[in-house]
């Protein structure tokens, strides 16, 4: 395979991976910000919302690991 073509493909794949990682981080950051800006009545309520967010993240990770998406 042509070295220039190989290098070009590597750069393209790397760029795509970085873009996907950025999109994922932006999504979870926005979800965390939603929890942060809510007016929680108690620490228990905040902990409950954080637990829900953690559970969503864990479920998504499990899906990715089992399905290989």
**Are residues 46 and 20 located together in one domain of the fold?**
no
pLDDT of residue 69: 59
**Are residues 33 and 44 located together in one domain of the fold?**
no
The model's pLDDT over 16-68, given as tens digits with 9 standing for 90+, comes to 999 999 999 999 999 999 999 999 999 999 999 999 999 999 999 999 889 87
User: Residue 28 half-sphere exposure, CB side, CA atoms within 13 Å?
Assistant: 15
pLDDT of residue 67: 85
Count of residues making up the chain: 69
Q: Is the pTM of this model over 0.85?
A: no
What would you report as the CA-atom Rg of the chain, rounded to the nearest whole angstrom?
A: 18
Domain that holds residue 33: 1-37
Alpha carbons 69 and 48: distance in angstroms, whole number: 29
**Are residues 7 and 31 located together in one domain of the fold?**
yes
């Amino acid at each position: 395979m042509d070295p220039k073509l190989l290098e070009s493909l590597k750069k393209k794949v790397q760029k795509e991976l970085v873009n996907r990682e950025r999109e994922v981080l932006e999504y979870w950051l926005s979800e965390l910000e939603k929890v942060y800006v809510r007016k929680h009545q108690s620490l228990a309520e905040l902990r409950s919302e954080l637990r829900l967010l953690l559970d969503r993240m864990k479920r998504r990770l499990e899906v990715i690991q089992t399905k290989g998406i």
